[in-house]
Amino acid sequence: MLQARDLSFSYGRPGDGSPNAIDGVSLDVARGAIVGLLGPNGSGKTTLLRILAGVLPARAGRVVIDGTPIHALPRRAIARRVAMVPQETQSAFDFSVMDIVLMGRYPHLGPFELEGARDRQIAREALAATGTTSLAARAFGSLSGGEKQRVVVAAALAQQADLLLLDEPTAALDLRYQFEIADLLRGLNARGGTTMVLSTHDLNLAAALCGRVVLLRDGRVIASGATSDTLTADNVRGLYGVDADVRFHPQAGHLTVVPVARAR
């Protein structure tokens, strides 16, 4: 579904010697897959997601969605194919939850067109899918962090995009909300076949959700492949400089990663 080939990007001006935030990154995302982007702060995860979403133009390389280069698609067409859930969402106005979710319908509306009955039905279905129907009339700013994250995912679902990109979907959430968001994403993938690429610092979340992972350091891929083969103690050490105990946990049903000490 999604292919990225030899992507490079720098926040500096061409020729000013600024290092690349993304340097020669390639990845493939099959339809219906969940792929995790792992790496320390500054490794390029968020930048890569923005390039995949068409928000940032790559300096080199290309992104292809179902055979069509993303740069050849109009912005509205990209928004119909790709939805992005940012790490934090702030609203300058006191929008209701329903208003926030209806914003996901904008790529499907014409100039000056208002949401119709079908758009509202799609928004209600997105709220139901994320367990936030009871919050529809609430002010977005009054929600807890976990509730906000669910609502932003609902807005992304209302876009009816083929691909969902999530930047640190469980950042700053307590353990209960981390489990709730993980269960939500797992259910959306299992029931609706939603394709996802998510960045995370939570190695256990990646182990629980992702069939494949891509390990980024200094803007480069240091390893990628099936999670069971790639999320190893050696790779965790190479990625974070930390010794970790990585093993299959029978009760959790997936690999678990327990940091032990800084690598010497």
pLDDT of residue 256: 94
Sheet with 34-38, edge to edge strand ranges? 82-85, 163-167, 195-200, 34-38, 212-217, 220-226
Residue 83 belongs to some domain of the structure: no
Residue 96 belongs to some domain of the structure: yes
Cα distance between residue 67 and residue 6, in whole Å: 16
223/115 same-domain check = no
Q: Is 59 left (phi over 0), alpha (psi -120 to 50) or beta?
A: alpha
Residue 74 belongs to some domain of the structure: no
How many CA atoms does the CB half-sphere of 196 hold within 13 Å? 28
Residue 72 belongs to some domain of the structure: no
Residue 81 belongs to some domain of the structure: no
pLDDT of residue 99: 94
167/258 same-domain check = yes
Cα distance between residue 218 and residue 42, in whole Å: 7
Q: Pick from 177, 224, 217: which is nearest to 33 by CA?
A: 224
222/187 same-domain check = yes
Q: Pick from 117, 188, 191: which is nearest to 156 by CA?
A: 188
**Are 161 and 130 contacting, i.e. CB atoms less than 8 angstroms apart?**
no
Range of the domain at 120: 90-160
Residue 12 belongs to some domain of the structure: yes
191/152 same-domain check = no
| Residues in Cβ contact with 184 at an 8 Å cutoff, skipping those fewer than 6 apart | 130, 131, 150, 153
59/173 same-domain check = yes
22-29 and 254-262 beta bridge pairing: unpaired
pLDDT of residue 109: 87
How many folded domains does the chain comprise?
2
Cα distance between residue 113 and residue 106, in whole Å: 9
242-249 and 254-262 beta bridge pairing: antiparallel
58/183 same-domain check = yes
Q: Per-residue confidence of the chain (264 residues) as pLDDT tens digits? A: 899 999 999 998 877 878 899 999 999 999 999 999 999 999 999 999 999 999 999 999 999 998 999 999 998 889 889 999 887 776 667 899 999 999 999 999 888 888 899 999 999 999 998 889 999 999 999 998 888 888 998 999 899 888 999 999 888 778 888 888 888 889 889 988 889 999 999 999 999 999 999 999 999 999 999 999 999 999 999 999 999 999 999 998 999 999 999 988
Domain boundary among 137, 160, 183: 160
60/172 same-domain check = yes
Question: Please, what is the end-to-end C-alpha distance for the chain in angstroms?
Answer: 41
36/59 same-domain check = yes
60/117 same-domain check = no
Give the CATH number for residue 231.
3.40.50.300
Structure token digits, residue 183: 């269960």
114/102 same-domain check = yes
Domain boundary among 160, 187, 206: 160
pLDDT of residue 91: 67
Residue 82 belongs to some domain of the structure: no
- Identify any residues that bridge with 176 across adjacent strands, giving them in sequence order: none
| Residues in Cβ contact with 88 at an 8 Å cutoff, skipping those fewer than 6 apart | 171
255/185 same-domain check = yes
Cα distance between residue 191 and residue 189, in whole Å: 6
3-state helix, strand, coil in the chain (%, to 5): 40, 30, 35
176/257 same-domain check = yes
Neighbour tally for 78: CB within 10 Å = 19
**Are 135 and 123 contacting, i.e. CB atoms less than 8 angstroms apart?**
no
